[in-house]
Structure 1
Amino acid sequence: MSIMSWNVRGLGNKETVRALKNTSFKYKPGIIFLSETKKKKRYLEKIRMKMKMTEYFYVEPVGIAGGLALWWSNEADISVLSFGKNFIDTKVSLNGEEDWFLTFIYGPPYTEEKQTFWESLASLRNNNEKKWCLIGDSNVVARPEEKLGGLTFDASSAKWFHDFTDALCLIELPLKGGTFTWSNQRSEDDAILEKLDRIIVSLEWSSSFPKAIGVLDATITSDHAPIFLFLKGMTKKYKKDFKFEAKWILEDECSAKVKDSWLQTGNCNGISGFGRKLRRTRIQLRQWSKMKKGTGKLKEEEMKEKIRFMQGKQLSKSGG
């Protein structure tokens, strides 16, 4: 099972909702945590039901700021223990396994609130509750190498984070797919990149899930990228399936593509020959459909590739 965490920067945008649905379809998370939803329960419930997540818990936004949404399927048994505007603390049971604690976080953006935030998280656990995982937007750059561009590294905010992790013997899972999870969505010399979204676990939790890995995906609809926690590793290659769309039948080009690709395969007999014809036809239709989607879709994919490149970009020795 996987867990998704994403600061969506508001779900009022149709493109963001579409990106959420597509990303969820791709990775099929059993638990979805969204921060900065900026929407009330009534609106969010419509999206949840379309995504077929069976359970939910919400922290309402204050005015049009903040807001947390937690959705999960029947793969997980989740009990909400406590919550605030910046976190949801839960107990999780999976397939009869030993319970563990999972806290979803949305760190405050204001410096004067950061110390209190980390201290309040520390108070959630005691010595008898050591199997703990935290995931979400920490809103803190913990190390100089986690920042590219903009103002200099803020050591004071980072200290509160490290005091928290050191006191409770917590470690951070690396994210596969890049370094930076947030950007100001500008290019070249004006770009600012930071790692703000994290997965933090106790040693006891890590021992229970030795194959767990974090994954960073790409998006162009929010300044944050979604992150995923795969509890038992990534055993599946997430490749987009081919689907024939009924509307293609109305296009003469589609019929021509099918005929050409079928004939180009030659006289193939038997089941294996039939399979080769199908594979070639599928490839031709996929290429044709990508072209038909126009420059808008191509530009979106190009932008995602640029984002993935920037997420993985490392600081030079000169800091530039």
Structure 2
Amino acid sequence: MDKGCGPKNTISAATKPTLGKRALQCGEAMAILGTESRERKRSSGGGLALLWKTQVQLDVVNYTDHHILAKVVEDDGFEWMLTCFYGWPKSSQKKKSWALLSHLSTFVRGPWFFIGDFNAILHSNEKQSKFPPQFNQMDEFRLALDACNVADLGFVGYPFTWNNKRPGAANTRMRLDQAVANMGWREKFHASTVTHLYSHASNHRPLILQTRVGWRKQHRNSRAFWFEEACLLWEDCEKTVQESWCNVGSALSVLKRTKEKISKCGADLAAWGSLKTQPATEEIKNLQKQVEELSKEKATEENGSALLEARSRAQLAVLTNPGSVQVWSPPTGSVYKLNFDAAVFTSTRSSSVGVIVRNSLGEVMAGLSAHGPAVANSEEAEALACRKAIEFAIDAGFMDLVIEGDNAAVMKATASPRLDRSRLGHIYDDIRMLAAGFRSWSVGCVKRSANSTAHCLARFASQLEEELVWLEESPPPALDSLYVDASLLNDE
């Protein structure tokens, strides 16, 4: 491990490293050679070496022939656990690797990162050979990582890290070397990258991890403010601009003074705009909330009248402000439109999925409300929901589909023909493979307001013990949303 000075640090790993003229024998915990510290465990079938600079705060916790576990303390006091790993190469011994991972997790509390040669692959596209991958071994590897709450960090560079260097059809290439980490580590070093380097002599490519704290990503709930012509409708907009423009400008150069004014004006407008909401959008949200609350109440004549009035007002607000909220639009011809959504329940980290399939008349062809697995974040939940939705459509016999969701990252990855090397890449690969069975299909990203029916079904799944399917009938949990969609459709 080599940690340099400056804004980024580097960790490098390679299989079977050498330590120069003096190698540490098994049982010799540490040796100081010059200004470097080195930790070595070696066996006849492979080995591990950990090297770090003396100014790095690192303490070795424990080690075996197949791992080194250490605690690292950053300059700012941030502590994290580092594991260097070497998995058993024989298929009959793979379970020992996963048992060791499980054992190591008992020593870890907090951020955790490990890197090394796992002698295993996570996904079928990580192997290029005439021999097919063993899916049971891939599943066991995934389960072992899931049990440790860690995920693949992805990589940059050549897709395979190991090559048997045999010619022709006998050649096999695999991604055996990986870097994984848990959420605590990824949140601290969220701008980090793993790169596969070139190796001339070894059959393994070295991995280099560059740990960067980077710029903090904007909080998901903190939306950026965009100045639009509609902002001029607010009375205090012009006043904000004038005050900001006139109160800045100490630089001697006209150009620098103008740059100062623009920068200050932009910051003031952003602060001003963050407190504003489009009046029409706010009204629509309030009316939709009112409809939802009235729908939950016991049905009475008085309640029914109030519900109809609220629905009409919400519909009118949407129609008179077409740019404020996106509405669901039907497919054309004999094509069906599938909308899906996921819900994540923060208390349990569990997820759920909602799916609705409609024809060109807006009629419901099929619906699904089902539980999903525990997830790390909303993108993972949405990606899994997309895969579940497509599996549902295949089972229901649909052949021509428009697939819509409201997560831009998921829809972009689904539509992309490129190999996805992120930790969710295997899910997107599954989605494209499944969708290839359709006669025709396309994807689109919509706002939540145009995906509300699927969202209702996803939220409803939290009340279910088993998944619920509707065929050619309107799902009761989404009747209000379907009513609004149908009303807007009829008025177009």
**TM-score normalised by the chain length of structure 1:** 0.58
SS at structure 2 position matched to 1:223: coil
Distance 1:53 1:145 in 2: 42
1:39-83 CA-to-partner distances (Å, cap 9, x unmatched) read 8427x9xxx94xx6511212132xx43232211003421111111
**Cα separation, partners in 2 of 1:194 and 1:233, compared to 1, 3 Å:** farther
Instruction: Select the residue among 104, 109, 114 that pairs with 1:129.
Output: 109
CA contact (8 A) 1:141 1:158 kept: yes
1:142 to 2:122 alignment: yes
Which residue does the alignment assign to 2:39?
Answer: 57
The structure with the larger Rg is: 2
Residue 127 to residue 120, structure 1, CA distance change in 2 (3 Å): closer
Q: Distance in 2 between matches of 1:121 and 1:157?
A: 15
Which residue does the alignment assign to 1:272? none
Q: Any idea what SS the aligned residue of 1:59 has?
A: strand
The one-letter code sitting in structure 2 at the alignment partner of 1:133 is F
Give the Å deviation of 1:126.
4.1
**Aligned match for 2:100, one of 98, 120, 140:** 120
Structure 1 range deviating more: 92-101 or 217-226? 92-101
* Residue type of the alignment partner of 1:190: A
Cα separation, 2, equivalents of 1:183 and 1:141: 14
Deviations 1:94-125 (A, max 9, x none): 21422110100011101222112212212222
Does the aligned pair in 1 maintain the 2:60–2:70 contact within 8 Å? yes
SS in 2 for 1:164: helix
Cα-Cα RMSD: 3.1
Report the TM-score, using the length of structure 2 for normalisation. Answer: 0.38
| 2:3 is the counterpart of 1:41 | no
In the aligned structure 2, how far is the partner of 1:179 from the partner of 1:145? 9
Contact 1:53/1:71 (CA < 8 Å) preserved in 2?
A: no
Distance across 1 between alignment mates of 2:191 and 2:74: 16
Q: Which amino acid in 2 is paired with 1:59? A: K
Is this contact kept in 2: 1:177–1:217, CA < 8 A?
yes
From 6, 19, 34, give the equivalent of 2:14.
6
Alignment partner of 1:157 is 2:140: no
Q: List 4+ stretches of structure 1 deviating above 4 A.
A: none
1:212 deviates by: 0.9
Q: Secondary structure at the match of 1:145?
A: helix
Tell me the CA shift for residue 191 of structure 1: 2.2
Query: d(CA) in 2 for partners of 1:152 and 1:97?
Result: 47
Change (3 A) 1:107 1:80: same
Q: What CA distance in whole angstroms lies between the structure 1 residues aligned with 2:91 and 2:129?
A: 19
| Unmatched runs of 5 consecutive residues or more in structure 1 | 18-38, 235-311
In the alignment, what sits opposite 2:348?
none
Take 2:104 and 2:130, find their aligned partners in 1: how far apart are those partners? Answer: 34
The structure 2 residue matched to 1:227, chosen from 192, 196, 207, is: 207
- 1:205 — aligned with what? 185
What corresponds to 1:217 in structure 2? 197
In 2, Cα distance between the equivalents of 1:78 and 1:209? 18
Distance 1:66 1:187 in 2: 24
1:88 matched to which residue of 2? 68
Asked if 2 retains the 8 angstrom alpha-carbon contact of 1:213 and 1:229, the reply is: yes
Between the two structures, name the one with larger relative contact order (CA 8 Å, sep ≥ 6): 1
The 3 A distance-change label for structure 1 pair 158 and 53 is farther
1:212 is aligned with what amino acid?
A: S
Residue-pair matches, total? 205
SS in 1 for 2:104: coil
Question: In the alignment, is the contact (CA less than 8 A) between 1:75 and 1:94 conserved in 2?
Answer: no
